[in-house]
Structure 1
Amino acid sequence: MSVTVFIQGRNGVTRWQPGKRWLLLPFLLLAAGTGFYQYNSDRFESQRARVEGEREAREAQKKQVLELKSATETQLATLVTYVARMQAKMTRLEALGQQLAQNYQLEDQFDFSAEVGVGGMSELGSSIELGQLIEDMDKLAFRIDNNDAQMALLETVTSNLHIDEERFVSGRPVSKGWLSSPYGLRNDPFTGRRTMHKGIDFAGTEGADVLATAGGVVTWAGNMFGYGELVEIDHGNGLRTRYGHNQALSVTVGDVVAKGEKIASMGSTGRSTGPHVHYEVLRSGQQIDPQKFVYRKAG
């Protein structure tokens, strides 16, 4: 195949017949244009992808900053709560301590208005993190709570009660009711077998008041296997009392209770056949016959 081109000039018509290489020129130009367009298109897509990636990275960084800000605000709110709680507890402890110091004329030995003196040599340590600080403050708040309970016990004893009379275990754990099962061997109401009953049962009306037979500190207030809802009170000198099968509890662990104070409502929770109080007296962790405590005169 050949192509002839006629060119009109001043001297007439000139005939030009291009070779095969000239015929390939349009195709070469088309291929070059297509390649150039594809190259530019690829560069544009690459730049657009890079810009989109950078935008997503900025969005992720912004999200991380917002999350960090939220976490910091939450931790600061927690710190504020801890500080307020400890301030309230410390105010109470200082007031109780000052009162006790005055009552026993110990102001010259205990000055609760002055800064506590601490000191000593110290080595360079690692910086503390916020999480560790919160954990330390949580432990400190727990210690303050325990000390507050103990100080409250001292306040109750020194301000309102005689300690010997308060800790003297005597009387019944109910104001109304009757003895339904004594301490000792009996036929188990569930199995019928001969078993040891390590307490005294006082039957009565569901919801009736259950009373502390002596003052002390509550060491258990919740469900215990077999006992149902149980209250246990430590009276000191290795003596404790238990009150089982309650319908509801009026105290929590750490509470200081007085002799005759309501600690629960009679019920039939746990291993029970009906509303009653299972009353135990423990000496050095071992149940003993409560009957001699129930019928002895108050100290």
Structure 2
Amino acid sequence: MSVTVFIQGRNGATRWQPGKRWLLLPILLIAASTGLYQHHAKQLIQQQTKVDNERTAREQQKEELIALKNATETQLSMLVAHVARMQAKLTRVEALGQQVALNNQLEDQFDFSSEVGVGGASDLGSRIELDQLIADMDELVSRIDNNNVQLSLLETVASNLHIDEERYISGRPIQKGWLSSPYGLRNDPFNGKRTMHKGIDFAGKEGVDVIATAGGVVTWADKMFGYGNLVEIDHGNGLSTRYGHNKALSVNVGDVVAKGEKIAVMGSTGRSTGPHVHYEVLRGGQQIDPQKYVYRKAG
């Protein structure tokens, strides 16, 4: 197949017959135009997809920020409530400290009354200031530290005011029972020989409470030969007391006990013929007659 082209000019018509390469040129131009169009269309689609993805990412980030903000607001609200509870508890501690100071006539030396009047209505929609919350917490910690120091000093002073009363040995080591064997020479219940009984025995029902006759520090709470389960309490000034033959002990070595506090339950352990407590008073490590301590008035 061949194509003949006639070109009309001034000198007449000119005949031109293109070769096969010229016939392929339109096809190549069409193909090139189509490829260029498809390339630009693909780029537009990619750019649109990128824009859509970025828009989706921004929307997701926005939602995450909103969720984070809500979560932060919730956590801050919880912190505010926690601080409020701490403030309420601290106010109660301050009131208690002030009352203790007043009872001991030490209110001029210990002031727990400052900065306790807090409260008021709360707007649920108000914005929470993190800086202010942190400042409130720092102030609260400072108040707690200050009150701990004052309470520690107050405890020391109060203890010193009452220590003589606590260390004053008086009364019986039981609340229910009777004196079964006094201090002094007696016939030994096991061998019948005349021996020195270095304490007072109080008999009673097994399991009744054995109590401290004065405040002090527990220096022995274990088995001891002849005594069975024994508690020994140091009351200072060279005085101590012993409580023997207990069924069980309620204190440990190092415990600080108060006057009248339960330290054991009555039993018959060790060298014993029945339920009772063997009670001794020692001065400088030597047993003395407990009778004057048992029957003297409480200090």
So what's the TM-score if we normalise by structure 1? 0.49
Q: Which has the larger radius of gyration?
A: 2
TM-score of the aligned structures, taking structure 2 as reference length: 0.49
